[in-house]
Amino acid sequence: MKIYIVGSVGSGKTTLARQLSAATGIPCYHLDEVQHDGLRRRTDDERDSLFAEILAKEHYIIEDTGRKAFTEGIRQADTIVLLNIPLFVCRKRIVSRWFKQKLGIEKCGYKPNFKMLRLMFMWSKNYASGADGLKSRLEQLSDKTITLRTTKEINDFLGGITNVQNCNP
């Protein structure tokens, strides 16, 4: 099973990936960690090599904002989960996460400064407006894309995965 989770900053991609991984036993990969090593942005060759290692696996859960550098993962996925959460919810989560990171309560791979906060707001706006192009790129893959908009839809999706896993010993 190859699952690719995409959506805006603050949409819940990391949380969903971790929950799916726990329910299925399939490892999850956060493409922020492929793009950056915590201290610096990786070179394109480093990034592409790490990404190719993930894609070579039989099963994976990947989460990302849908960066063009990782389009091949979206193409190869069996299922694409698009978290299309309202902008105001994403922005609330962005601010909450930023404060937690600033206070050292939550780990992050970047410096939680005002520049980063501003960038996250810009990225979420670009996603919501379609300026990032993600939703239009996914239109051609609609046969394998599941769009989730609410917490209830996310929980129902997780429940369905858990039920499938329980039926397949």
What are the chain's domains? Answer: 2-86+130-167 (3.40.50.300)
pLDDT of the residue at 169: 42
- Stronger pLDDT, 86 or 39, i.e. the higher one: 86
The predicted pLDDT at position 39 comes to 74
CA distances to 84, 107, 141, 144, 147 from 2, in Å: 20, 27, 14, 11, 16
Residue 93 has pLDDT above 90, yes or no: yes
Find where tokens 């051609």 sit.
140
pLDDT exceeds 80 at position 109: no
Average pLDDT over residues 35-55: 92
Q: How confident is the model at residue 161 (pLDDT cuts 50, 70, 90)?
A: confident
Instruction: Identify any residues that bridge with 145 across adjacent strands, giving them in sequence order.
Output: 80
Q: What is the CA radius of gyration of the chain?
A: 16
Q: Rounded distance, CA 110 to CA 101, Å?
A: 9
60-71 pLDDT tens trace: 999 999 999 999
What's the rounded mean pLDDT across residues 88-104? 95
Mean pLDDT of 45-52: 96
Assess whether pLDDT exceeds 80 at residue 3: yes
